[in-house]
Structure 1
Amino acid sequence: MANHKSALKRIRRNEAVRLRNRYQHKTVRNAIKKLRNEEDKKSAEALLPTVVGMIDKLAKRNIIHKNKAANLKSQLMGKVAAM
């Protein structure tokens, strides 16, 4: 176990950041599922920019890899376009 005050603070901080990242990642995954299950093209087109923005934010913060973000966005845009 860490003995330095700064190391103990870092452990607490890392846990808080981990939980925040987990929450954000799960929220985006749920939004992606909602978009994929959407049947109506109009509502899917309305939802798409929101989901793409959420994916970009995860990639910017290194919660997901930038290539994974690009692949997800490409798949979602293709699905909406094919409706």
Structure 2
Amino acid sequence: LNIAQNVTMLYDKTVAFFSLEMGKEQLVGRILSSVAGVSSEKLRRANMDPTDWEKVIAAADRMSKSKLFIDDTPGLTVQDMRS
């Protein structure tokens, strides 16, 4: 996940990430926490001070402009990923 995040955000490349274990919402939360530099616990509980909120908003803006595509379809096969 970190490699996908870095490739798309630092090098502006398109990345498709297939997750068979975690849902899209969980993955986005982890990336958002990482990019914002705010603990995932604070983010989950929305227990943040104004500075944390600013960081999260800026991180969400960066993420929305990235070319990261997440597919969390359950039971996806390699053949499905190819198509």
Pair in the same fold by TM > 0.5: no
Question: Larger strand proportion, structure 1 or 2?
Answer: 2
Question: Larger helix proportion, structure 1 or 2?
Answer: 1
**Structure 1 length-normalised TM:** 0.33
Of structures 1 and 2, the one scoring higher in RCO (CA 8 A, sep 6+) is: 2
Structure with higher Rg: it is: 1
**Structure 2 length-normalised TM:** 0.33
